[in-house]
Amino acid sequence: MKKRNPVAKHASSFNRAKTELNRKRAAKKGYQKHKNLGKETYRQAA
């Protein structure tokens, strides 16, 4: 029996297209890369 390629088998589940965030627009909404106490993140502000 021929051995299968496990990397090719699971590649489609890991290599997916992703929409990047617009950092300038996120900054206007109050996003900060590093949280300070009590600040909200971009995902919560949206």
Task: Render pLDDT for 5-45 as a digit per residue (tens, 0 to 9).
Answer: 999 999 999 999 989 889 999 989 988 887 765 556 556 66
DSSP 1-46: -PPP-HHHHHHHHH----PPP-HHHHHHTT--SS--TTPPPHHHH-
Taking a C-beta distance cutoff of 8 angstroms, is the pair 31, 41 a contact?
A: yes
Locus of tokens 């300070």: 36
pLDDT at residue 1, as a whole number: 82
- Stated as kind and residue range, the H or E segment containing 16 is none
The number of beta carbons lying within 10 Å of the beta carbon of residue 31 is 19
Structure token pair of residue 24 = 């300038």
Residue extents of the structural domains in the chain: 20-46
